[in-house]
């Protein structure tokens, strides 16, 4: 029922937008496109880049933005572990696989397809180019599908505007060697495409097309500038299982697998510059709005880096302790299973003392991070609890000042697992003793539970 409702919503967006653009509406064909979009966006690994995301990004005002958003995440190779079978046939004439990488076909292999060449011109992609998941591959392929799907209904100039919006969603691009931003380079390519494909845009229209692309691209990443850092972390936790598929098996992923997912996210945020998240072009958005977006993004990234650092210290301690049992120990073995609604299954948190902070908090950032650890993010996830009881205990025991040095030691342990006991020796003895004692009490609770089962069996017999 939910699938059908989403397809109906997608169809309504397609029909309404095409009608506003005075295009040709063919309901049966648009129904097929809506089904294609929603089926793809409901892939098994889609936790963040879902159908709800494309509706949010598109908004409801500008039909070009609505259409661009519906298609902009259709291809997401690293999330879907390839290109969905349902959409691959549309791409095969233009792209091939070479040594596990997607490559644009050579000029002699490419069909004489006006829509494809228009999309390639807007992206600046040439025949023979090897595509990268981190440099526009997904957006380019999504735009190709959008162009081919919409070709029967809309003119080339409109499809070029939609393509520009999708191109602008390529994230986190630095200034080019020539000193131009990614969005300024897009403007240059649109000027060329306007000339080469006779799109009949005025200079002012071309500028407005770029401004619209900026609006859509900034909505695509608006969670970075959330006024509430907990909302930002909620989205971060939804992103992690998209590229760490082992997290989809709640209660089965190992301590090391969970740790690696945290490392990836922490490593990404460590080098992310807030100015690369949001785009600006000729006062879209205006300077004050843009400055506020950057400021909130900087603050959220700072909170997330400290938060993830403490999560890494926590998982390092649990991983080092787990090595005393083996090398592939599920995190649920060390912490207990995720509690189902109404369940009272024992968890490690039950055996940790309620502790006051031993060190005063020095800043608003520290207060915010401690609250996120103790109270939790806003939302539960399917693979993790929203609060961090072990991390809370650790930070209340050692204080924030010690985390930077301890995180370095944790990173050294991750690089050399044989140093697990050496890492534990760097940690506060009372912290290690309390956590290891809690794990042992958790094991004892399981023994007790098994004993009850045995006793009931004997009574019945």
- Cβ atoms of 43 and 56 closer than 8 Å: no
pTM > 0.85: yes or no: yes
Cα–Cα–Cα angle for 404, 408, 414, rounded to 5 degrees = 140
Going from N- to C-terminal start, the domains of the chain cover 2-220, 229-460
- Cβ atoms of 80 and 45 closer than 8 Å: yes
Q: What is the pLDDT of residues 60-69, one digit of tens each?
A: 899 999 999 9
Q: What is the pLDDT of residues 154-208, one digit of tens each?
A: 999 999 999 999 999 999 999 999 999 999 999 999 999 999 999 999 999 999 9
- Cβ atoms of 352 and 393 closer than 8 Å: yes
pLDDT number for residue 60: 85
The residue assigned the tokens 């298609």 is 71
Q: How far apart are CA 12 and CA 4, in angstroms?
A: 12
The residue assigned the tokens 């050579």 is 106
Q: How far is CA 105 from the centre of its chain?
A: 29
Q: How far apart are CA 449 and CA 262, in angstroms?
A: 32
pLDDT number for residue 248: 84
Q: What is the pLDDT of residues 424-451, one digit of tens each?
A: 999 999 999 999 999 999 999 988 878 7
pLDDT number for residue 458: 52
pLDDT number for residue 341: 75
The residue assigned the tokens 């089926």 is 39
State the burial class of residue 227 (Cβ atoms within 10 Å of its Cβ: 0-12, 13-18, 19+).
Answer: exposed
User: Taking the CA atoms of the chain, what radius of gyration do you get in angstroms?
Assistant: 26
Q: How far apart are CA 445 and CA 433, in angstroms?
A: 18
Torsion of CA 154, 155, 158, 164, to 10 degrees: 100
The residue assigned the tokens 């787990």 is 322
């Amino acid at each position: 029922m939910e699938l059908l409702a989403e397809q109906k919503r997608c169809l309504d967006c397609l029909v309404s937008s095409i009608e506003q653009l005075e295009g040709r509406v063919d309901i049966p064909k648009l129904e097929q496109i809506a089904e294609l979009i929603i089926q793809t966006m409901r892939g098994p690994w889609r936790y963040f880049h879902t159908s709800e995301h494309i509706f949010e990004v598109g908004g409801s005002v500008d039909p070009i933005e609505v259409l661009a958003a519906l298609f902009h995440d259709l291809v997401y190779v690293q999330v879907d572990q390839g290109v969905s079978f349902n959409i691959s046939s549309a791409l095969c004439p233009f792209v091939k696989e070479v040594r596990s990488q997607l490559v644009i076909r050579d000029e002699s292999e490419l069909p004489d397809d006006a829509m494809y060449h228009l999309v390639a011109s807007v992206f600046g992609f040439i025949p023979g180019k090897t595509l990268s998941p981190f440099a526009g591959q997904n957006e380019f392929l999504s735009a190709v599908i959008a162009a081919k799907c919409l070709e029967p209904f809309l003119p080339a100039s409109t499809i070029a505007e939609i393509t520009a919006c999708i191109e602008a969603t390529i994230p986190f691009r630095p200034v080019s060697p020539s000193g131009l931003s990614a969005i300024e380079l897009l403007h240059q390519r649109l000027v060329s495409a306007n000339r080469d494909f006779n799109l009949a845009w005025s200079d002012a229209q071309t500028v407005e097309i770029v401004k619209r692309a900026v609006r859509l691209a900034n909505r695509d990443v608006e969670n970075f500038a959330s006024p509430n850092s907990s909302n930002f972390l909620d989205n971060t936790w939804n992103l992690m299982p998209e590229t760490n598929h082992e997290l989809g098996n709640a209660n089965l992923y190992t301590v090391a697998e969970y740790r690696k997912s945290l490392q990836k996210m922490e490593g990404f945020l460590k080098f992310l510059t807030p100015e690369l998240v949001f785009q600006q072009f000729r006062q879209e958005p205006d300077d004050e709005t843009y400055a506020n977006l950057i400021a909130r993004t900087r603050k959220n990234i700072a909170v997330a880096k400290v938060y993830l650092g403490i999560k890494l210290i926590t998982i390092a301690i649990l991983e080092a302790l787990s090595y005393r049992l083996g090398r592939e120990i599920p995190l649920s073995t060390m912490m207990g299973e995720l509690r189902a609604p109404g369940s009272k299954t024992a968890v490690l948190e039950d055996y940790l003392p309620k502790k006051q902070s031993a060190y005063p908090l020095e800043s608003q950032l520290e207060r915010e991070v401690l609250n996120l650890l103790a109270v939790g993010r806003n939302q539960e996830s399917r693979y993790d609890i929203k609060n961090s009881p072990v991390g809370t205990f650790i930070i209340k025991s050692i204080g924030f000042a010690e985390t930077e040095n301890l995180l370095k030691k944790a990173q050294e342990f991750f690089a050399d697992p044989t140093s697990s006991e050496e890492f534990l020796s760097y940690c506060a003895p009372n912290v290690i003793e309390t956590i290891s004692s809690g794990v042992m009490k958790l094991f004892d609770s399981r023994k007790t539970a098994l004993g009850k089962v045995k006793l009931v069996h004997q009574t019945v017999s």
